[in-house]
């Protein structure tokens, strides 16, 4: 996994330089550096990086809090860096969050495998959420179309097949999603307004 656009957030400029060199040598790009959580958050939202590596303990806005906000908005995968004596605290705090972390000292052996896992997990979660969103949208569309079909059968005397084809034809003729056509028909039929779809928009 090469060529990632990465933001580093850590209070220690020496560590940031050390980490930056490792990342650059591995073919990645460091597009921003921050010394506190607030700046890291602003930079992340402004640049939409492929990965954010940040210290779990940051001033201004706590590193964990910053990571959770980035995670909540699905802006980028987050890899937290923490000390071994804070590991339990980080694990507990991230119990319900899909964030990754590594322990200091940061070496090639733990950094790059963690980056690959972090980015891959983030992509899978985003794909799953998109699939879930489309599924919910599909179910909602089906419910609305069924409601519109029922009204067409009741008020226009159509068969179920005729009602579906009527909705489908309006959708194709007007280049409007069936979901929108069905909502329009429901509104029109519930107020007993005959429609040929000419006022669809």
The structural domains of the chain, ordered by start, are 5-106 (3.40.50.2300), 134-190 (1.10.10.10)
Model confidence, pTM: 0.71
- % of the chain beyond a pLDDT of 70: 94
Residue the block writes with tokens 């560590």: 15
pLDDT recorded at residue 169: 92
Q: Which residues contact 183 (CB under 8 A, 6 or more apart)?
A: 144, 148
Query: Is a pLDDT exceeding 50 seen at residue 201?
Result: no
φ/ψ of residue 77, rounded to 5: -70, 150
Count of CA atoms in the C-beta half-sphere (13 A) of 135: 6
pLDDT tens digits along 75-109 = 999 999 998 888 887 887 777 677 889 999 999 99
Whether the bond between 105 and the residue before it is cis, its omega within 30 degrees of 0, is yes
**Interatomic CA distance for residues 31 and 192, integer angstroms:** 59
Closest by CA to 185, choosing from 173, 172, 175, 199, is 199
């Amino acid at each position: 996994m090469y060529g990632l656009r990465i933001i580093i957030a850590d209070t220690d400029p020496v560590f940031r330089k050390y980490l930056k060199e490792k990342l650059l040598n591995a073919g990645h790009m460091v597009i921003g550096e921050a010394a506190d959580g607030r700046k890291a958050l602003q930079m992340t939202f402004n640049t939409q990086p492929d990965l954010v590596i940040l210290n779990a303990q940051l001033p201004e806005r706590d590193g964990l809090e910053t990571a959770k906000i980035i995670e909540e908005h699905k802006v980028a995968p987050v890899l937290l860096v923490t000390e071994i004596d804070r590991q339990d605290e980080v694990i507990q705090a991230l119990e319900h969050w899909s964030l990754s972390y590594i322990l200091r000292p940061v070496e090639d052996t733990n950094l790059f495998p963690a980056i690959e896992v972090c980015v891959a997990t983030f992509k899978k979660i985003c794909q799953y959420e998109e699939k879930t969103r489309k599924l919910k949208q599909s179910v909602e569309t089906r419910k609305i179309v069924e409601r519109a079909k029922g009204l067409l059968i009741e008020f226009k005397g159509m068969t179920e097949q005729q009602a579906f084809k009527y909705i489908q034809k309006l959708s194709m003729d007007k280049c409007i999603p069936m979901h929108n056509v069905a909502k329009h028909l429901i509104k029109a039929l519930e107020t007993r307004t005959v429609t040929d779809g000419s006022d669809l928009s």
